[in-house]
Chains A and B, each alone.
Chain A
Amino acid sequence: MKNKKRHSLGQLLLAGPYTVWMVGFIVIPLFLIVYYGLTNKSGAFTWENITAITSAVNMKALWLSVELSVICTVVCLVLSYPLAMILANSKMKNSSLTAFLFILPMWMNALLRTLAWLTLLENNGVINTILTKIGLPTIHIINTPTAIVFGMVYNYIPFMILPIYNVLVKLDKNVINAARDLGANAVQTFLRVILPLSIPGIISGITMVFVPSLTTFAISDILGGSKILLLGNIIEQKFKTANNWHAGSGLSLVLMVFIIVTMVISSHYEKDGESANVW
Chain B
Amino acid sequence: MPNKLLDLIDISKSYDGQTVLDEMNLYIRDNEFLTLLGPSGCGKTTTLRIIGGFETPDTGKVIFQGKDITNLPPNQRDLNTVFQKYALFTHMSVEENIAFGLRIKKKSKQYIKDKIDYALKLVNLDGYGKRDVESLSGGQQQRIAIARAIVNEPKLLLLDEPLGALDLKLRQDMQYELIRLKNELGITFIYVTHDQEEALTMSDTIVVMNQGYIQQIGTPEDIYNEPQNAFVADFIGESNILDATMIEDKLVEILGVRFPCVDTGFGTNQPVDVVIRPEDVELGKPEDGRLRGRVTSLIFKGVHYEMDVMANGYEWLVHSTRMFPVGEEVGINVDPFNIQIMNKPESEDEEAQSTDEE
Contact = CB atoms under 8 A, between A and B. Distances in A.
Interface of A: 172, 174-175, 177-185, 188, 192-193, 196-197, 199
B88 A175 contact: yes
Contacts of B101: 182-183
B54 A177 contact: yes
21 contacts: A172-B85, A174-B83, A175-B87, A175-B90, A177-B52, A177-B81, A178-B81, A178-B83, A178-B89, A179-B89, A179-B100, A180-B54, A181-B52, A182-B100, A183-B101, A184-B75, A184-B104, A185-B75, A192-B100, A193-B89, A197-B89
Nearest to B81: A181
Contact of A182 (B73, B84, B91, B152): B152
Given A174-B83, A188-B104, A181 B89 contact: no
A174 B87 CA distance: 6
B67 interface: no
Q: Rank and list the top 3 A-B pairs by shortest CB-CB distance, nearest first.
A: A182-B101, A174-B87, A180-B74
Nearest to B85: A174
Contact residue range for chain B? Answer: 20 to 34
A193 to B, nearest CB: 6
B75 A177 contact: no
Contacts of A193: 89, 91
Nearest to A180: B74
Nearest to A196: B91
Interface string B61-78: 000000000000111000
Nearest to B73: A180
A183 B152 CA distance: 10
Contact of B75 (A172, A180, A196, A199): A180
A179 B85 CA distance: 14
A264 B81 CA distance: 40
B105 interface: yes
B101 to A, nearest CB: 4
B91 A197 contact: yes
A175 B73 CA distance: 16
A182 B87 contact: no
Contacts of B148: 178, 182
Contacts of B74: 177, 180-181
Nearest to A198: B91
A181 B90 contact: no
B90 A197 contact: yes
B80 interface: yes
A211 B166 CA distance: 48
Given A178-B87, A181-B52, A182-B104, 11 more contacts: A172-B85, A174-B83, A174-B85, A175-B89, A175-B90, A177-B87, A178-B148, A181-B149, A183-B75, A183-B101, A183-B105
A192 B81 CA distance: 19
Contact of B83 (A177, A188, A196): A177
Contacts of A197: 89-91
B188 to A, nearest CB: 16
Nearest to A188: B104
A18 B33 CA distance: 63
Interface-central residue, A179, A182, A192, A199, by most chain B CB under 10 Å:
A182
Contacts of B91: 193, 196-197, 199
A188 B90 CA distance: 17
A201 to B, nearest CB: 13
Interface string B187-226: 0000000000000000000000000000000000000000
B46 to A, nearest CB: 13
Contacts of A177: 52, 54, 74, 81, 83, 87
Contacts of B89: 175, 178-179, 193, 197
Contacts of B75: 180-185
Contacts of B52: 177, 181
Nearest to B100: A182
A192 B90 CA distance: 12
